[in-house]
Amino acid sequence: MELKLIIGNKNYSSWSLRPWIAMKVAGIAFEEEVISLSATDFKARVGKVSGTGKVPALVDGDVRVWESLAILEYLAEKYPRARLWPSDPAPRALARAIAAEMHAGFSPLRRHLPMNMWRPVMPRQLTPEVKANVRRIEEIWIDCRTRYGTGGPFLFGPFGAADAMYAPVVARLHTYAVEVAEAARAYMDAVMALPAWGEWCAAALVEPWVLAEDEVDWPKVVRV
């Protein structure tokens, strides 16, 4: 039976992007079901699969997995040849640590710079807390690239679970024209050059749903 990934709006759902792009890049076949975060029956539909009633949620036969990081861990175990985590213990430990840091942290950045794939690239003034988040993310990216990035353009060389966890941050920093170091920008460009990234963005741009809470220019909805 083919895997099924239930996700929210591609324009806004940063958590949904994470397992989706990991599976696409790894070549893991799956069926996707998109449910708008604004759907009146969202909780009822998603709650049948997800213990939290939130997306993303993965269905694999009788197995149900929710939370982006848990889904990535499940996929890494089920598809070891996908190499979602580095094979060596030291970089694998670091990859898991920064993925968990992303999962649990950076709340100021999340709130101030919501993912919005159809918004034109325009700057937004950053608070000190958001600036601190950006500097920490730059530090993580540059450290990983310097120590373990010789085998490819991503954090640990080939694209993996850690890159999937930071993919929505790439979108945020790009959309809001946040200035970053040259090495961090090169990493962002590599992520955005992925065919899977283009596929996600193309689908996001034609979605009909508008979520006011994720439109920082509200009541204007500025679209490319």
Domain with CATH 3.40.30.10 in the chain: 3-82
- The CATH homologous superfamily to which domain 3-82 belongs is Glutaredoxin (3.40.30.10)
CA 52 – CA 42 distance, rounded (Å): 12
Q: Check residue 45 and give its pLDDT.
A: 94
pLDDT on residue 21: 98
How many Cα atoms within 13 Å fall on the side-chain side of residue 78?
Answer: 18
- pLDDT in the model for residue 2: 86
Range(s) within the chain of domains with CATH label 1.20.1050.10 = 89-195
Residues of the chain with pLDDT under 70: 1
pLDDT at residue number 1: 59
The closest of 138, 137, 144 to 86, measured between CA atoms, is 144
Fold of 89-195: Glutathione S-transferase Yfyf (Class Pi); Chain A, domain 2 (1.20.1050)
Structure tokens at 32: 């996707």
